[in-house]
Amino acid sequence: MEPVDGKLDLEFGEDIPLSSTISSRKGVHPLVFETSSAMQREVPDSQLIKKLRISPFSSIYTVLIKAKINVLLPFGPLAILLHYLTHKHGWIFFLSLLGITPLAERLGYATEQLAFYTGPTVGGLLNATFGNATEMIISIYALKMGMIRVVQQSLLGSILSNMLLVLGCAFFTGGVVHHPKIQSFDKSAALMNSGLLLMAVMGITFPAVLHFTHTEVHFGKSELSLSRFSSGIMLVAYASYLFFQLRSQHNLYDPLDGETSNNIVEDSDDDETPEITYWEAIAWLAILTLWVSVLSGYLVDALQGASDSWNMPVAFISVILLPIVGNAAEHASAIMFAVKDKLDITLGVAIGSSTQISMFVIPFCVIVGWLMGQPMDLNFQLFETATLFVTVLVVAFMLQEGTSNYFKGLMLVLCYLIVAASFFVHNDVKED
């Protein structure tokens, strides 16, 4: 009789949660929607349709009003207004940063909602993709204006921020909350991402070494040709990694210990319920991406003026300030999952995002610059390349044990402060 009751509940639209007995019998996470089970897809839809009948504007309230960070949304239109009324580039840049911050976080939220309907594997890929949408949009606008160094430094800063600041804060917060317990995670996914990051470092290092050792066959052309070839290879490697992860070995990186699965099942009734429908999530992703692209144009346009008015190097703004805004969603998500003792998801957010920027976004920008006629290459200069190489090594050593604590997190954050101070006193050499 139990299946019949469940069917009647769905037909009459009663307000019932996802059945925990069904998930416990199958031994899987309630959020893992199997393609062969129609009932698990219908349950959240029926609940959401009922909510929408009660309040037709519930989606607008959920996305634009409910979150506290949305108090920063009005700063975006204010930045556009100042752009046409005044020439104070420092204020325009600052208000644009504040306006983009909640949009980046809301992009992550809409992606998480969409992940309820696509499943955890595709949802993780969508989260990493749209989590980096802000960086990609800013980079494309900067490329159109010929600001190649801003593109290189902002993408480098995103990698450094995710690997040191985001992961460090997550490890520190999780370690303090769960002290004296030592948190653990599956090493296989972390080591795989570390290998991809080292491959990206190799692709970025060779053009810089080729340039600064003056061993090019054709001066000024060989490094550009090498960068475009290496970018194609990196895109193929990243596509192969996605196929390996999603199709070939999609169960390789699942959590190994039963405690993690039990914790996920216990927490699912509290905070793992979709709040908007499938098509609403897609619509909000399109709207938020469009609004981010609009603000990014004003942000990039005011960058040089802000550097002059603040007496602050463009390198510091590009490497430190821009990535902090773009990584707002990853930062919040990584800390939240670390507090819940779900470090596998934390690593997927922080290290996975760094891997995607280094193996997909940077090569993608090189190809897009090629199509635009912009000489975007992988020569990030010696200072930036050395910083990235040391950062990847430090994080790889931190992850090799498969455990984390608050001291490891503190060391990563302190390393990020050293990097930030270095770029504050770094004079970016502009070469012809």
Per-residue pLDDT of the chain (432 residues; tens, 9 = 90+): 444 444 444 443 444 343 333 333 333 333 333 333 333 333 444 444 444 443 447 788 888 888 888 888 999 999 999 989 888 888 999 999 888 888 878 887 887 788 788 766 676 667 656 767 778 888 898 898 888 998 999 999 999 999 999 999 999 999 999 888 888 888 888 888 889 999 999 999 999 988 888 888 877 788 899 999 999 999 999 989 888 877 765 555 444 444 444 444 444 444 567 888 888 888 888 898 888 888 888 888 888 888 888 888 888 998 998 888 777 767 777 888 888 888 888 888 888 889 989 999 999 999 999 999 999 999 998 999 999 999 999 999 999 888 888 999 999 999 999 999 999 998 876 543
Give the count of beta carbons closer than 10 Å to the beta carbon of residue 56: 9
Measured CA to CA, the distance from residue 47 to residue 5 in angstroms comes to: 17
Cα 26 from chain centroid (whole Å): 32
Angle at 201 between CA 364 and CA 353, to 5 degrees: 55
Residues 161 and 327 sit within 8 Å (Cβ to Cβ) = yes
Angle, nearest 10°, between helix axes 406-424 and 167-177?
A: 150
Paired strand residues for 404:
183
Measured CA to CA, the distance from residue 120 to residue 112 in angstroms comes to: 9
Answering whether pTM is above 0.85, one says no
Q: How far apart are the first and last CA of the chain?
A: 78
User: Which residue type occupies 238?
Assistant: Y
Handedness of CA 380, 386, 388, 393 (dihedral sign): positive
Measured CA to CA, the distance from residue 331 to residue 349 in angstroms comes to: 9
